[in-house]
Structure 1
Amino acid sequence: MRLLQALFFPPEQPGGVSSMIPYLQEKFSSARWEMELFSLPKRIRGKGREEVVFETFDWTRYGDSPIVQKYMQTYRDYLWWTRLRLQKPYDLIHAHHPIAALAMKTVFPDTPVLQTIHSSYERELILNGKIEENGPEHRFLTSVYRELEAKTDQLITVSDAFRRYMGTYIEYPERVKIMPNGYDERRFKPVPHENEVPQLMAVCRLVPAKGLDVLLRACARLKERNIPYVLHLIGDGPSRQDLERLAQELGVYDDTIFYGYTLHPEEFMPFFDIFVLPSRAEAFGSVFAEAALCCLALVGTSVGGVPEQIEHGVNGLLVPPDDPEALAEALEQVIGDPAYRYELARTACEKAKAQYSLNRVAIELKRMYLGYEARGSQSL
């Protein structure tokens, strides 16, 4: 069976897609399967000129927005690159970004196209202060969900929470399948260690949606209470200078290490103690599963798909978003009780191995893909 995994970013970019899809190739390396990866290189900008018409809405109503214009130009670029580079037929295409799915269905209208939606671009833009809720960009991006439903053969998402969110914008939410991301356990190697001072860490893009300002305020409360810790922030983004400035204002800059972007944070993640990320929105939160596989205690917020990974008090702690005091109390609990911290980490690791293994995802995908192959055979 000839498969194409259609990504948006190149596979080396950070995120849930890149932490799973490239590693699937090994699981599909047999005479029965032939899998390729495809993505849009960063250098391809402004090449596409093809006129675009959507089936379910008139996108030109929102065409005055620079954000919509950029989105549509990227779509044209993806179409141009796809037509240029892909000629041979595929038995099935699995897309991992709306632009990839719509472009693939345009170029290969007779090929089944499955679409996994990994995150909400519009929610991220709202939380990061780039667009307004119910503004033209928001309406445009949520209209794309209905277009995907009409054009693709199957919608998939990574959590029940995100399926419920997406359900308000599509006609048949009950048809959306849920398939959490999977991770190759061999990449994550827990290391027995004893840190005299508990080491907190977060891995994410430095943007307002991740709530790192809340984390710094919680850390300031820990410092006021003379609770020892070191905070490691791994990642980069437009909020870095603001976060560094806030850390200085709060008096926690000397206790915080800003690493910048790191390609493989899982290589040194096991040497820390507590993973904490007070996100304001998460479709799934892949990094929580990755931290769990490294046997770290988890502290997160009760948003999106995070509560589907963390059962409060069992394999981690949950706090409300935008609540520095609640976050400080949760961190104080796991910092001050190493035995409890270890038990949370052990339970989180066991759950991640059982529910988020790459083998499980590969088996589910093969079953799904073969179903489309069988339908094709019956139609001949």
Structure 2
Amino acid sequence: MRILQALFFPPEQPGGVSSMVPFMLDRFNRRGWETELFSLPKRVRGKGTEEVRFSTFDWEAYAGNPVVDKYIQTIKDYIWWTRMRIKTTYDIIHAHHPIACLVMKRLFPDTPVLMTVHSSYERELMLNGKIRKDGPEYAFLTSIYRELEEQADQLITVSNSFKHYLSDFVQEPERIGVIPNGFDEKRFRPVHHENQVPQLISVCRLVPAKGLDTLLYACAELKRKGHPFVLHLIGDGPIRPELEALAQELGIYDDTIFYGYMLHPEDFMPFFDVFVLPSRAEAFGSVFAEAALCGLAIVGTDVGGIAEQIEHGVNGLLVPVDDVHALAAALEKVTSDSMYRYQLSRVALDKALNTYSMSRVVKQLRSVYRTYRKES
């Protein structure tokens, strides 16, 4: 069986799809399932010129809006690049981005195309203050889900909570499959260590949706109560200057290290103590599973896929979104009691190994792929 894994941009960013698909591809190839990776290079801009039409709605009703126009142009670019680069056929195409799915089904209508919806672009834009829920961008982006339902042979998503979110925008939500993300266990090696001062770490893109302002306020409250810590922030993004200024204003800049972008944070994550990320929304939250596989205690918000990964008080701690005091209390609890922190981390590691292994994902996907394999 020949399978194409179709991404959006190349898998060069840490976390999520980028950290999963290449390892998944390797597992398939080692088992004799010929699998290839395809994506749109970031240098390809403004190349496509083919007309774009959808079968379930008229996108031109939203034309003239920068977000919509950029999305449509990217579809055109993906069509141009795909026509130029793909000269063979596949038994199955598995798309990991809406644009990849729509283009692949358009160009290869007789090939089964599966689509995994990993995240919600419109929610990310709303939480980052870029669009409004009552605006044309939101209407356009949520209409894409219905088009995906119409075009893809199978829709899959990464958590039950995100399946519930999608149900408002499709006709048959019961047909959406759920396969949580998986991770190559060999990439993660917990390391026994003793830190005199608790080391907190967060790994994400520095955007409002990740709630890092809440984290900085919570850490300031932690410091006022006399609890020492060092906060390590790995990632880059548009609000980094604002976060650095806030850390200075709160008096915790000397306790906080901004690293910027890092390709493989999992290489030294095991030497920290607590992973914390107070996201305002997450379809799955891959980085929590990765932190658990590194042997860290995990603290997150009670939203989306995070709440499906963390059982409060058992393998981590959950707090409400934007609740500074609750987050500070959770951090105080895990930083001041090393035995409790260790207990949480051990249970989190066991659950991650059993639930989010790459072997489990490959097994589930092989079963789905067999369903759509063409009869020879």
Q: Does 1:199 align with 2:199?
A: yes
Look up the SS of the partner of 1:28 in the other structure: helix
CA distance in 1, matches of 2:198, 2:19: 27
The alpha-carbon distance between structure 1 residues 190 and 57, as it changes in their structure 2 partners (threshold 3 A), is: same
CA distance in 2, matches of 1:68, 1:48: 15
Indicate the larger mover: 22-31 or 112-121: 22-31
Report the alpha carbon displacement of residue 30 of structure 1 after superposing the two structures with TM. 4.7
Count of paired positions: 376
- What is the match of residue 127 of structure 1? 127
What is the CA deviation profile of residues 252-306 of structure 1, one whole-angstrom value per residue up to 9, with x for unaligned ones? 1110000000000000000000000000000000000000000100000001110
- What is the match of residue 37 of structure 1? 37
Percent of matched pairs sharing the same residue? 67
CA distance in 1, matches of 2:15, 2:74: 19
- What is the match of residue 258 of structure 1? 258
- What is the match of residue 273 of structure 2? 273
- What is the match of residue 86 of structure 2? 86
Look up the SS of the partner of 1:305 in the other structure: helix
Report the alpha carbon displacement of residue 133 of structure 1 after superposing the two structures with TM. 1.0
Q: Does 1:367 align with 2:342?
A: no
- What is the match of residue 182 of structure 1? 182
- What is the match of residue 313 of structure 2? 313
Report the alpha carbon displacement of residue 13 of structure 1 after superposing the two structures with TM. 2.2
Q: Does 1:244 align with 2:244?
A: yes
Report the alpha carbon displacement of residue 127 of structure 1 after superposing the two structures with TM. 0.3
In structure 1, what residue type is equivalent to 2:279? S
CA distance in 2, matches of 1:14, 1:8: 15
CA distance in 2, matches of 1:29, 1:99: 25
- What is the match of residue 350 of structure 1? 350
What is the CA deviation profile of residues 108-139 of structure 1, one whole-angstrom value per residue up to 9, with x for unaligned ones? 01000000000000000000000011210000
Root mean square deviation, CA, Å = 0.8
CA distance in 2, matches of 1:37, 1:157: 20
Alignment of 1:1-380 (within 5 A): 1-30=1-30, 32-373=32-373, 376-377=374-375
Report the alpha carbon displacement of residue 44 of structure 1 after superposing the two structures with TM. 0.2
TM-score by length of 1: 0.98
Report the alpha carbon displacement of residue 31 of structure 1 after superposing the two structures with TM. 7.3
The alpha-carbon distance between structure 1 residues 313 and 31, as it changes in their structure 2 partners (threshold 3 A), is: closer
In structure 2, what residue type is equivalent to 1:362? V
What is the CA deviation profile of residues 59-111 of structure 1, one whole-angstrom value per residue up to 9, with x for unaligned ones? 01111210100011011100110011002111000000000000000110100
In structure 1, what residue type is equivalent to 2:37? L
CA distance in 2, matches of 1:322, 1:152: 36
In structure 2, what residue type is equivalent to 1:206? L
What is the CA deviation profile of residues 326-357 of structure 1, one whole-angstrom value per residue up to 9, with x for unaligned ones? 00000000011110000000000000000000
CA distance in 2, matches of 1:324, 1:118: 28
CA distance in 2, matches of 1:33, 1:194: 44
In structure 1, what residue type is equivalent to 2:324? P
Segments of 5+ residues of structure 2 without an aligned counterpart are none
Segments of 5+ residues of structure 1 without an aligned counterpart are none
In structure 1, what residue type is equivalent to 2:108? F
TM-score by length of 2: 0.99
